[in-house]
Amino acid sequence: MAKSKYTSSSSDSADDINITPLMDITFIMLIFFIVTSTFVKEPGVKVDRPEAQTATTRKFASILIAITADNKVWIDKKNIDLNAVRATVEQMRAENPKGTAVVQVDKDADTRYLVEVVEQVRQAGITDVAVSTLDKSS
């Protein structure tokens, strides 16, 4: 097979664009965004929260607990027995020792369950516990 007089092997290599550095930068940026991103945690159920005039906004909570109207406790999209709340919170606290807890309680749930859940969260070592409400002042 004859070689064409207009092409040469030396000029082909000089005209190619090396995209390896571009791919390296892309992967480094991807890793950076994955590592620094925060994920929204949900308890796994929808709760009809009560209204409060003294509601304040809290930005971050590493442990989110929900108590439904039929007094079932949900943590991390799992239905948890009331007696197992402390152990579950201790496991989650091991992942984030400086974490805080927020309890979303349905307005039709028994207050006794709220008190017991907050008490077990405090026994697990988390002192910063908040109860989630809707802002009635607006």
For residue range 29-54, list pLDDT tens digits in order.
999 888 877 665 666 677 766 666 66
37 in a structural domain: no
CATH of the domain at 105: 3.30.420.270
25 in a structural domain: no
Let me know: does 12 contact 3? Beta carbons within 8 Å.
no
Predicted TM-score (pTM) of the model is: 0.62
89 in a structural domain: yes
* Low-confidence spans in the chain with pLDDT less than 50: none
Which stretch of DSSP H or E encloses residue 13? Answer: helix 9-15
Angle at 102 between CA 99 and CA 98, to 5 degrees: 10
12 in a structural domain: no
13 in a structural domain: no
118 in a structural domain: yes
23 in a structural domain: no
Domain span at residue 131? 51-135
The structural domain count of the chain equals 1
